[in-house]
């Protein structure tokens, strides 16, 4: 074997993507542009006028941008790990076709996650470019925020991939987005610091990957990184990736290797 079959699964994703890339690149420019313009500049001008000290010491736009970057990474990861996985298992059964070759369930999961990593890098890269264009960053080191963005995306992609393989149809995905992804988007410190939340809700935020990713990205973008808390954030995110990968191995085997 010259290359792991997982690489071939990745190639398949890339080949499919070749036909749709224009649309997705356009969307990955439009989303941050609209959000940063409306929320960062529009809403931000009111917030900043009433908060001479800024939010967490910076302008609202500078506070918002890293959080929004991470939330967008989460959303991208969730999209890429729900409907496409359902297509592979149920709608097109492309996973069955792959499993008739030397590829295994592990290769499919690894190839899928590798592809999600590339998609996250693209989306986060474009997002950060837009952040610079808006002047939403205070240091050039903000480019490093791409790392927590991709890692946080994977921390969602892996467990959601495992979940997707347990579903008979896509109605569960709507529930996931409505009661999982959207509330996290809003409440995980993206638009306001989570210290603004009621005390009893705050511990829940600490359990989600998004909170840790946002904290990491904000510290990087604003240059306030501390080794100990950064290590904790990293450990939580990596823990989600590993746990999600193992869960996906289990749910894929149950579904595809009957």
- Run of H or E including 132: helix 105-134
CB of 21 to another protein, least distance (A): 13
Residues numbered 66 to 105 that lie near another protein (CB under 8 A) are 92-94, 96-104
# of chain residues touching another protein (CB under 8 A): 26
What are the tokens at 194?
């989570």
Stretch that binds another protein, among 11-19, 25-33, 49-57, 204-212 (CB under 8 A): 11-19
Residues numbered 101 to 120 that lie near another protein (CB under 8 A) are 101-104
The residue among 199 and 258 lying less far from another protein, judged by its C-beta, is 258
Contact of 198 with 34, CB cutoff 8 Å = no
The residue among 88 and 148 lying less far from another protein, judged by its C-beta, is 88
39-45 long-range CB contacts below 8 Å, 24 or more apart?
A: 39/64, 39/68, 39/191, 40/64, 40/65, 40/68, 40/134, 40/136, 41/134
Contact of 212 with 240, CB cutoff 8 Å = no
Interface with another protein, residue 239, by CB under 8 A: no
DSSP SS3 for 201: coil
Stretch that binds another protein, among 8-16, 65-73, 154-162, 228-236 (CB under 8 A): 8-16
The residue among 103 and 130 lying less far from another protein, judged by its C-beta, is 103
Q: Cα(139)–Cα(221) distance, rounded to whole angstroms?
A: 7
CB of 78 to another protein, least distance (A): 20
CB of 53 to another protein, least distance (A): 52
CB of 24 to another protein, least distance (A): 14
What are the tokens at 135?
């002047």
Q: Cα(83)–Cα(78) distance, rounded to whole angstroms?
A: 9
Q: Cα(239)–Cα(201) distance, rounded to whole angstroms?
A: 22
Residues numbered 15 to 54 that lie near another protein (CB under 8 A) are 15-16, 19
The residue among 108 and 237 lying less far from another protein, judged by its C-beta, is 108
DSSP SS3 for 55: strand
Chain contacts with another protein (rule: CB under 8 A): 1-3, 5, 8-9, 11-12, 15-16, 19, 92-94, 96-104, 256-258
């Amino acid at each position: 074997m010259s290359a792991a079959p997982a690489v071939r699964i990745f190639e398949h994703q890339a080949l499919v993507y070749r036909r749709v890339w224009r649309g997705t690149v356009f969307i990955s420019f439009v989303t941050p542009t609209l959000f940063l313009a409306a929320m960062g500049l529009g809403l931000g001008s009111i917030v900043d006028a009433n908060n001479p000290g800024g939010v967490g010491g910076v302008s609202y736009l500078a506070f918002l941008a890293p959080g929004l970057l991470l939330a967008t990474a989460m959303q991208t990861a969730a999209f890429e790990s729900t409907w496409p996985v359902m297509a592979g298992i149920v709608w097109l059964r492309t996973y069955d076709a792959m499993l008739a070759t030397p590829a295994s369930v592990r290769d499919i999961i690894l190839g899928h996650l590798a592809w999600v990593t590339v998609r996250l890098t693209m989306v986060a890269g474009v997002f950060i470019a837009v952040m610079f264009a808006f002047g939403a960053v205070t240091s050039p080191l903000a480019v490093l925020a791409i790392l927590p963005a991709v890692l946080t995306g994977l921390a969602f992609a892996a467990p959601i991939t495992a979940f997707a393989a347990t579903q008979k149809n896509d109605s569960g995905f709507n529930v996931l987005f409505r009661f999982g992804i959207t509330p996290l988007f809003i409440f995980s410190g993206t638009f306001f610091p989570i210290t603004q939340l009621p005390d009893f809700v705050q511990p829940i935020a600490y359990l989600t990957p998004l909170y840790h990713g946002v904290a990491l990205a904000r510290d990087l973008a604003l240059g306030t990184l501390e080794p100990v808390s950064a290590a904790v954030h990293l450990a939580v995110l990596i823990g989600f990736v590993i746990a999600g990968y193992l869960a996906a191995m289990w749910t894929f085997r149950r579904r595809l290797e009957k």
